[in-house]
Amino acid sequence: MATITKYTTKAGKSRYKADIRIRKEGKIIHRESKSFERKRLAEEWARIREVQLQEHGELDKLKFKSITVADLISRYIIQFEPEDGFGRTKAFDLKKLQNFPLSELPAVSLTPKDLIDHAHYRKSTGTGPATIGNDYIWLSGVFKAIKASEGIPLDITIFDDARVILRQHNMIKRSNSRTRRPTKEELWKLSRYFWRKQYCAKSIVPMLDIMWFQLYSTRRDAETCRLLWSDNNEERQTGLVRDAKHPTAKKGNHKRFKYSESAWKIVQKQPRNNELIFPYNPRTISNYFTKACKLLGIADLRLHDLRHEGVSRLFESGYSIEQVALFSLHEDWKTLKRYTHLRPEDL
């Protein structure tokens, strides 16, 4: 039972302090108090609070009240990061989440309101609904994993409750499939720009070759920078993507692909002074491409869009779904369809 104590403030006003003490095996395992202007209010608060502590797992939560959302993310990374690391996007997003105001809150007492407040905060900084939605995907995964592995009494239902409201107000949603394809004029501008860099300025990174290789091979930038000379089959003009992208089994997921004729010619031009065909950092080539687009006034074009363009050109050339998949390494038509944006005038 709580103890209600009357006392007088320095201003001469009467106050009532409700002091709750919970004992286990003769020891005080939890203590908290709160003051009120009226005795009835103190008694009512103490009664409700004692029920909460005893019946709703609050005592268990109090054991972990010092663990913040940021701490939870750190525990998740330590326990569940694969040997070859998380994907670049997931690793970046998890680290970034640790810097938001939400990360400072106690994880065990997080509420749907806290999640909704986070969405408003992210929106105020110009973040789009798809990116905000990714925050909740990562956080929900962290909470589920740590609850299962450490037994911390985390409330997983808060994500479902917040998600319903946020979707109703279009504050989170799935990312839209990109349909951006470069125009002939844009490709010409980029080619001229990178030609000067590669042949006049003698740039170390042959961006002209890489740009067109990305398009003709339909490779991702990270895949391009992992291709090995030793994995090429000269006779059949095929290569090998090691640890190909996969939602659950990337490590050891090696896949052989067919080079297009144009992609093969670009490969043969590269110097064989490294085991890698294109021994460059994928972030570097992506940044170079983004910088070039900005300088040339080309809006909303990404290096990855060249993969989209390459797949679409293969279909426009008359290849079947099965044949295109041998170039692009897509698993199924549903996934492959996202990258095919055919133009009627090119059929």
- Do 157 and 29 have their domain in common? no
For the segment 134-169, what is each residue's pLDDT rounded down to a tens digit? Answer: 999 999 999 999 999 998 888 899 999 999 999 999
Asked which of 89-93, 105-109, 129-133, 210-214 is least confident by mean pLDDT, the reply is: 89-93
Model pLDDT, residue 253:
79
Domain boundary among 168, 202, 223: 168
- Do 232 and 335 have their domain in common? yes
What CA–CA distance (Å, rounded) separates 268 from 34?
77
Does residue 208 sit within a domain? yes
Domain boundary among 27, 42, 63: 63
* 222, two tokens: 């990270």
- Do 191 and 270 have their domain in common? yes
Question: In this model, does residue 56 exceed pLDDT 60?
Answer: no
Asked which of 78-82, 97-101, 330-334 is least confident by mean pLDDT, the reply is: 330-334
pTM above 0.85? Answer: no
Asked which of 27-31, 73-77, 311-315 is least confident by mean pLDDT, the reply is: 27-31
Asked which of 186-200, 220-234, 236-250 is least confident by mean pLDDT, the reply is: 236-250
CA dihedral 127, 75, 144, 64 (to 10 degrees): -110
Does residue 176 sit within a domain? no
Q: Say which residue the tokens 């939870």 belong to.
A: 72
Helix, strand, coil percentages, rounded to 5, for the chain: 55, 10, 35
Model pLDDT, residue 21:
83
Residue 14 neighbours by CB under 8 Å, 6+ apart: 6, 7, 8, 37
- Do 24 and 110 have their domain in common? no
What CA–CA distance (Å, rounded) separates 190 from 182?
10
- Do 158 and 224 have their domain in common? no
- Do 153 and 257 have their domain in common? no
- Do 233 and 339 have their domain in common? yes
Q: Percent of the chain beyond pLDDT 70? A: 90
The vertex-212 CA angle with 208 and 213, nearest 5°, equals 110
Region 77-101: mean pLDDT is 86
- Sheet bearing 14-24, strands edge to edge: 3-8, 14-24, 27-36
The vertex-323 CA angle with 322 and 327, nearest 5°, equals 115
Are the C-beta atoms of residues 180 and 305 closer than 8 Å to each other?
A: yes
For the segment 12-41, what is each residue's pLDDT rounded down to a tens digit? Answer: 899 999 988 877 777 777 788 899 999 999
Are the C-beta atoms of residues 313 and 214 closer than 8 Å to each other?
A: no
Instruction: Give the chain's mean pLDDT.
Output: 88
Within the chain, how many helices (H) and strands (E) appear? 15, 5
Question: In this model, does residue 341 exceed pLDDT 70?
Answer: no
Model pLDDT, residue 53:
73
Does residue 177 sit within a domain? no
Which CATH number fits the domain that encloses residue 263?
A: 1.10.443.10
- Number of domains observed in the structure of the chain: 3
Model pLDDT, residue 343:
57
Q: 27: which strand partners? A: 24
Does residue 173 sit within a domain? no
Does residue 178 sit within a domain? no
- Do 211 and 291 have their domain in common? yes
Residue 36 neighbours by CB under 8 Å, 6+ apart: 15, 16, 17, 18, 42, 45
For the segment 108-118, what is each residue's pLDDT rounded down to a tens digit? Answer: 889 999 999 99
Q: Please tell me which residue, 346 or 122, carries the higher pLDDT value.
A: 122
- Do 214 and 305 have their domain in common? yes
Question: In this model, does residue 52 exceed pLDDT 90?
Answer: no
The vertex-291 CA angle with 286 and 293, nearest 5°, equals 95
- Do 201 and 320 have their domain in common? yes
Does residue 308 sit within a domain? yes
- Do 136 and 94 have their domain in common? yes
Does residue 309 sit within a domain? yes
Range of the domain at 49: 3-63
Q: Please tell me which residue, 76 or 332, carries the higher pLDDT value.
A: 76
Question: Would you put residue 8 in left (φ > 0), alpha (ψ -120 to 50) or beta?
Answer: beta
Region 195-207: mean pLDDT is 92
Model pLDDT, residue 276:
97
Amino acid sitting at position 322 = E
Domain boundary among 168, 198, 222: 168
Dihedral angle sign, alpha carbons of residues 136, 138, 141, 142:
negative
- Do 219 and 317 have their domain in common? yes
Question: In this model, does residue 287 exceed pLDDT 90?
Answer: yes
